[in-house]
């Protein structure tokens, strides 16, 4: 029952956000055991240095004599040589309310193994056991995790196991007074675990999630990759995030995503993380087999793992019968709009965006829209273009679905990592034609992808118009509106005026020489106010006016000419349903 590597974890002080952990190693390295903690968590490509939250560390032998510890690096420790078993005790500060870390207070506890479990160097491949104890202050709490249960009641604390360290850190744990909505998909038990107040329709949530899960389980076919599945969901006012794991996902969603106008965004997030069960958790790049968790692990393939997943997340809502073709095209238009609104797409290639995720996509500054392109959104447009290319060139006998089926069979089920050109080679072998031109352009150039031409061949017209207002992210045609003039910058109301948070290349503010961080205090001699900005620019028209702004504490004057809003908002219209031929159900 208890493995030779065993962890005891208990929420020790809820008010101080501390987990107590004891690690017992039966057979430590005779030359002195090394221990380490990951610097990042798979699926979230940023060095997070989880060891910074490890408070203290002590070790003792079987007779309770202290074992000396030497620190070798920011997240690696060396124990003095000793006979087993050796016991290591430490404390973890858990106050990161995100899907990537650990969090503990009087309302609930959550942790990823990457935050709390020290790895036993040289024995990472060994099976481990984990005893998770309820906090003394909250003995009634429940527990939810995809870890294999050895003892304890369902939803109770108890003893769990994992086949190796990689599995141990791939099963997040939620504890508290949560709500569980259980349903089956293809006979597999699924649980939506909800922590936090919400207004969701429980029966609808179960029905809609079951439809999405069944559609994806049937898409990839048997054998299914897990026997049970958990959506561990934290509901708060405004947080947003999701992280995929092998039989669960950790989600953080804003309260009002669970009902109302944004409900589809919640379903799309669930669909996205669920698709990762195959695409990145099992079909994965060579560079992730195994994960190198002490430093950045670069790959130019994130476009395939996040982009293809982003393409299918919405498409699966349509295939599951939850949205019609028009509503699907509205969501696709939003993706096309996001790409069109990134001047950085003309600067950074998709391959570079993937490779540099660690220092660019995950560390965005005020210049990010001008300098980078998202491997999620442009990756999704590339997946769309690849799908439509395969459909058209094969006279609708092939699609991206066939590429995914091949990847699952040849790579996912055999735990073989994909090479940088695997997706191209598979598509070419299925089609019997080279696709060098398409892949080179899509991955290594900054040219726009041929979405418009490909969509037209499937009977869908793509046009770009100016955004009607700040909330217009594209969709089906709106009624015509008067031309809108803009600064070409992201701005917000600030003390004394309007603060520019981002200045987009090619816009009016850029042409005037304004910079991110500038505080505009007056436009054309009038006090600048965010709430009146659109109306003031419309009234000024396309003529040059003076703008006064503070850069740091120095007042500067700029000559600004409001410019028409760029044609960056995608509109998709089905012009000939007969050409869809199975891509969408009209
Ligand atoms: Zn993802």
> Measured in angstroms, how far is the CA atom of residue 46 from the centroid of ligand 1?
14
CA 169 to chain centroid, in Å, comes to 17
Q: How many helices, marked H, and strands, marked E, lie in the chain?
A: 16, 31
> Measured in angstroms, how far is the CA atom of residue 281 from the centroid of ligand 1?
10
Q: Contact at 8 Å (CB) between 19 and 101?
A: no
> Measured in angstroms, how far is the CA atom of residue 309 from the centroid of ligand 1?
6
> Measured in angstroms, how far is the CA atom of residue 177 from the centroid of ligand 1?
28
Instruction: Specify the pLDDT at position 468.
Output: 83
Instruction: Specify the pLDDT at position 499.
Output: 97
Cis bond upstream, residue 85 (ω within 30): yes
Please count the other Cβ atoms lying within 10 Å of the Cβ belonging to residue 250: 27
**For residue 535, what are the CA distances in angstroms to 237, 482, 540?**
31, 12, 9
> Measured in angstroms, how far is the CA atom of residue 92 from the centroid of ligand 1?
27
Please count the other Cβ atoms lying within 10 Å of the Cβ belonging to residue 136: 11
Task: State phi, psi for 17 to the nearest 5 degrees.
Answer: 65, 45
Q: What is the pLDDT of residues 371-409, one digit of tens each?
A: 999 999 999 999 999 999 999 999 999 999 999 999 999
Query: Which part of the chain has CATH 1.10.390.10?
Result: 278-462+574-586
Cis bond upstream, residue 461 (ω within 30): no
Q: Contact at 8 Å (CB) between 129 and 1?
A: yes
Q: How many CA atoms lie within 13 A of 176 on its CB side?
A: 23
SS3 per-residue string spanning 364-380 = CCCCHHHHCCCCCHHHH
pLDDT exceeds cutoff 90 at 483: no
Query: Which part of the chain has CATH 3.30.2010?
Result: 178-265
Query: Which part of the chain has CATH 2.30.42.10?
Result: 485-564
> Measured in angstroms, how far is the CA atom of residue 291 from the centroid of ligand 1?
17
> Measured in angstroms, how far is the CA atom of residue 376 from the centroid of ligand 1?
8
> Measured in angstroms, how far is the CA atom of residue 295 from the centroid of ligand 1?
20
Six-digit token string for 262: 């944004």
Pairing of strands 119-120, 526-527: unpaired
Confidence of residue 478 (pLDDT cuts 50, 70, 90): low
> Measured in angstroms, how far is the CA atom of residue 535 from the centroid of ligand 1?
39
Share above pLDDT 70 across residues of the chain, in percent, rounded to a whole number: 99
Q: Contact at 8 Å (CB) between 22 and 89?
A: yes
CATH 2.60.40.3650 at 5-175, yes or no: yes
Instruction: Specify the pLDDT at position 473.
Output: 85
User: Average pLDDT, stretch 262-266?
Assistant: 95
Query: Which part of the chain has CATH 2.60.40.3650?
Result: 5-175
Task: State phi, psi for 567 to the nearest 5 degrees.
Answer: -85, 75
> Measured in angstroms, how far is the CA atom of residue 80 from the centroid of ligand 1?
42
> Which residues fall within 8 angstroms of residue 169, CB to CB, at 6 or more apart?
38, 41, 42, 112, 113, 114, 117
Q: What is the pLDDT of residues 122-147, one digit of tens each?
A: 999 999 999 999 999 999 999 999 99
Instruction: Specify the pLDDT at position 469.
Output: 81
> Which alpha helices (DSSP H) does 419-577 contain, by range?
422-431, 436-439, 451-457, 508-512, 533-540
Distance in angstroms (rounded) separating the CA atoms of residues 579 and 149: 51
For the domain covering 278-462+574-586, report its CATH number. Answer: 1.10.390.10
> Measured in angstroms, how far is the CA atom of residue 272 from the centroid of ligand 1?
6
Q: What is the pLDDT of residues 184-203, one digit of tens each?
A: 999 999 999 999 999 999 99
Confidence of residue 571 (pLDDT cuts 50, 70, 90): very high
> Measured in angstroms, how far is the CA atom of residue 306 from the centroid of ligand 1?
5
pLDDT exceeds cutoff 90 at 253: yes
Distance in angstroms (rounded) separating the CA atoms of residues 394 and 87: 62
**For residue 367, what are the CA distances in angstroms to 45, 222, 359, 372, 378?**
20, 46, 13, 9, 18
- Which of these CATH numbers, 2.60.120, 2.10.220, 3.30.2010, 3.40.1000, describes 178-265? 3.30.2010
Nearest to 567 by CA among 380, 337, 377: 337
Six-digit token string for 366: 């005020």
CATH 1.10.150.120 at 485-564, yes or no: no
E-strand spans in 225-339? 229-236, 241-244, 248-254
> Measured in angstroms, how far is the CA atom of residue 316 from the centroid of ligand 1?
15
Confidence of residue 480 (pLDDT cuts 50, 70, 90): low
> Measured in angstroms, how far is the CA atom of residue 354 from the centroid of ligand 1?
13
Q: What is the pLDDT of residues 559-569, one digit of tens each?
A: 999 999 999 99
Share above pLDDT 90 across residues of the chain, in percent, rounded to a whole number: 95
């Amino acid at each position: 029952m208890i493995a030779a590597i065993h962890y005891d974890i208990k929420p020790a002080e809820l008010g101080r956000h501390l987990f107590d952990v004891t690690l017992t190693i039966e057979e430590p390295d005779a030359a002195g055991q090394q221990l380490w903690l990951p610097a990042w968590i798979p699926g979230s490509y940023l060095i997070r240095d989880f060891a910074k939250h490890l408070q203290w560390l002590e070790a003792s032998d079987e007779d309770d004599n202290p074992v000396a510890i030497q620190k070798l690096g920011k997240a690696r420790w060396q124990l003095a040589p000793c006979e087993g078993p050796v016991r290591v005790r430490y404390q973890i500060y858990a106050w990161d309310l995100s899907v990537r870390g650990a969090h503990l207070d009087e309302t609930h506890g959550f942790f990823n193994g990457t935050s709390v479990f020290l790895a036993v160097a040289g024995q990472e491949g060994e099976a481990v056991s984990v005893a998770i104890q309820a906090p003394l202050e909250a003995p009634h709490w429940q527990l939810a995790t995809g870890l294999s249960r050895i003892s304890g009641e369902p939803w109770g604390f108890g003893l769990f196991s994992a086949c190796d360290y990689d599995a141990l850190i791939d099963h997040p744990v939620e504890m508290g007074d949560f709500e569980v909505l259980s349903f089956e998909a293809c006979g597999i038990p699924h649980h939506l675990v909800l922590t936090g107040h919400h207004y969701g329709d429980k029966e609808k949530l179960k029905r809609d999630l079951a439809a999405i899960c069944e559609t994806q389980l049937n898409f990839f076919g048997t054998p299914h990759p897990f026997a049970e599945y958990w959506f561990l969901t934290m509901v708060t006012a405004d947080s947003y995030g999701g992280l995929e794991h092998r039989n669960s996902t950790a989600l953080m969603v804003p309260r009002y995503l669970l009902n109302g106008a944004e409900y589809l965004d919640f379903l799309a997030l669930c669909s996205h993380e669920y698709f990762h069960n195959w695409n990145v958790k099992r079909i994965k790049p060579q560079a992730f087999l195994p994960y190198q968790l002490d430093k950045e692990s670069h790959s130019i393939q994130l476009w395939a793992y996040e982009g293809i997943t982003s393409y299918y997340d919405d498409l699966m809502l349509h295939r599951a019968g939850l949205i019609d073709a028009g509503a699907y095209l509205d969501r696709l238009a939003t993706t096309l709009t996001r790409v069109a609104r990134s001047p950085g797409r003309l600067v950074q290639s998709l391959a570079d965006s993937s490779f540099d995720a660690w220092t660019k996509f995950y560390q965005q500054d005020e210049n990010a829209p001008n300098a980078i392109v998202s491997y999620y959104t442009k990756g999704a447009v590339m997946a769309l273009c690849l799908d439509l290319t395969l459909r058209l060139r094969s006279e609708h006998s092939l699609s991206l679905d066939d590429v995914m089926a091949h990847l699952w069979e040849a790579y996912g089920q055999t735990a073989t990592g994909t090479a940088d050109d695997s997706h191209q080679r598979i598509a070419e072998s299925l089609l019997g034609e080279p696709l060098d031109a398409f892949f080179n352009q899509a991955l290594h150039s900054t040219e726009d992808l041929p979405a418009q031409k490909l969509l037209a061949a499937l009977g869908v017209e793509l046009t770009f118009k100016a955004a009607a207002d700040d909330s217009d992210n594209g969709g089906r045609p709106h009624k015509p509106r008067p031309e809108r003039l803009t600064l070409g910058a992201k701005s917000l109301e600030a003390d004394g005026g309007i603060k520019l948070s981002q200045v987009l290349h090619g816009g009016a503010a850029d042409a005037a020489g304004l910079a991110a961080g500038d505080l505009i205090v007056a436009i054309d001699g009038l006090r600048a106010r965010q709430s009146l900005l659109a109306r003031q620019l419309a009234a000024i028209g396309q003529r040059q006016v003076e703008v006064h702004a503070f850069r740091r504490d120095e007042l500067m004057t700029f000559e600004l000419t409001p410019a028409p809003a760029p044609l960056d908002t995608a509109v998709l219209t089905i012009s000939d349903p007969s050409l869809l031929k199975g891509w969408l159900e009209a």
